[in-house]
Amino acid sequence: MLLFPNAKINLGLNVVRRRSDGYHDIETLFFPVPDLCDVLEIVHSDAFEMHLYNARIEGENLCEKAWRLLHDRFGIPPVAIHLYKKIPMGAGLGGGSADAAFTLTGLNALFGLNLPQDDLVGLAASLGSDCAFFVYNRPMLARGRGEILTPIDFSLAGHRLQIYPQDVFVSTREAYAGVTPHEPLHSIEFIVKRPVSEWKGLLVNDFEESVFARHPSLAAARQRLYDEGALYAAMTGSGSALFAIY
């Protein structure tokens, strides 16, 4: 079985409040990027094997956790997973979450578990905050830790989206440490209904202020995108990848 887990971007990201469990409540719009994908192959095997190409991950990765979750719960047999990484890691593009979600849906199909989408969403959410989105893999408003998802009728038809990975590593812990949670003036749903040309200054990523202060090259790179004609440009997630809409 050959699958192509795709990236996502965050259109806006508001850090609304810190929760008692140590996480944060956020508001964002997850938007799939179908032309930036990893390559995931799942084949039958006598023993579980995980092969990773073009990247290094210490310890058990999310694909293995996804297999183990279904193995422990439903008794599926071993598989060999081959994962070729093309989505940059630690860039805010959701590659690891996509790999996990596609592993779940792939195993569901390979072994005929016939789990409904709602069950797969619940399993994916247990693996990571962004994983549930990739089961739906369509534009979704996300709240809570990112696992409370609401479909939104949204498209970038008539626009061109371009991703710009950056040679900067930003840890999620570092990004959250620099943010003061607050209620936004306008909801993301309200803003994205306006023309893209009006988003600048309205659709914000709360991580940008502190991350750009620590990494001025990111702020300069975003400004270059505007100078080159972008209607809107921003950092996705906690960074460091940038994207622009033309």
Tell me the catalytic residues. Answer: 8, 130
Question: What is the DSSP secondary-structure string of the chain?
Answer: -EE--EEEEEEEEEEEEE-TTS-EEEEEEEEEEEEEE-EEEEEE-SS-EEEEES----S--HHHHHHHHHHHHH----EEEEEE--SPTTSSS-HHHHHHHHHHHHHHHHTT----HHHHHHHHHHH-TTHHHHHH-S-EEEETTTTEEEE-----TTS-EEEE--S----HHHHHHT------SS-HHHHHTS-GGG-TTTS-BTTHHHHHHH-HHHHHHHHHHHHTT-SEEEE-TTSS-EEEE-
